[in-house]
Amino acid sequence: MNPSQKLLVLYTGGTIGMQASETGLVPASGFEALLRAEQATQPQRQLPAWQFAELQPLLDSANMSQASWLAMRDAIVTAVDADGCDAVLLLHGTDTLAYSAAALSFLLLGLPVPVILSGSMLPASASASDAWDNLFGAMQLLAVGVTPGVYLYFHGKLLPGTRASKLNSEALDAFSDTLRPRHGQRAAELPASLHYRQRRRPVALAVQPLFPGLSARQLGAVLDSGVEALLLECYGSGTGPSENLEIIDLLRQAHRRGVVLAAISQCPQGHVEFGVYAAGSALAASGVLSGGGMGREAALGKLFSLLGCGLGQAEVERLFALDLCGEMAD
């Protein structure tokens, strides 16, 4: 944990740098000038030396995609391995900030420097904006030193990238750790296939919340759409419609043809423990994996990384069940 002396500020868009248009706020270039001007007005802040880069095209984070995650990963790896940066601050829109923090946590396993994602609920140009407190707060932490890993910094809180969720659409204190129980087993070592230098490919993923009335026809349409993995958002401790034998059979057939099936709890502070109820045991018997205490963001990011590096179904399932970077174990 060393103080940063060469920080990359990577600007990807988002509310923090948005400007008004006829249709509403839109991403805009020119944020480096705003940042340098604001820093000049706050000389008391101890910030590391930094350089700036824009990742084009700038995005409203509602338009975030797997391709964007891979582009962020590439830019970060180049900055560290080729340019010698010792920390990265990634500026990002808040709508999908937690998703990107989780995805990058798994895409950057083994990276020897800290990466912090941040943004703001109000544009930097707005009065009473939270932009500068978030941005300079993250930079000040890096100036002191942060342990290598991926984090989300917002409203004075530094959160692990695999444990953050956006819980409020308006409040400045929008992000938090939902404090799900995490009792998983840690991986003994990081497989070479998951190292940050390992390139990834896009992956066909889907999320299916369970709800009373979900039909086999609806679920079958998702499973037959070409997905490589399906994340089920289950009730409580990981239960589902076990008496609907058509649904159970669909899951079993999908698993047999290579689709990775995983489950998380719909409860904000829940975790999956299949053996508690028979309705959960039936899902496990059909090939569904427990996501333990992972939230949606972490589970999706983990599936994306594991499948994206070309691992087969059995190895994906083995590694999905192990804690890789704090997503499943405290």
Residue whose C-alpha is closest to residue 239's, from 263, 205, 215, 256: 263
User: In whole angstroms, what is the distance from residue 309 CA to residue 191 CA?
Assistant: 11
Among residues 12, 15, 96, 162, the one annotated as catalytic is 15
Query: What would the two tokens of residue 319 be?
Result: 């590694």
- Amino acid letter, 216: A
CA angle 85, 91, 95 (to 5 degrees): 145
Active site includes 147? no
**The residue to which tokens 């350089």 are assigned:** 51
Residue whose C-alpha is closest to residue 101's, from 18, 163, 10, 176: 163
Residue 323: enclosing H or E segment and its boundaries? strand 322-323
CB 161 within 8 A of CB 101: yes
| Residues with a known catalytic role | 15
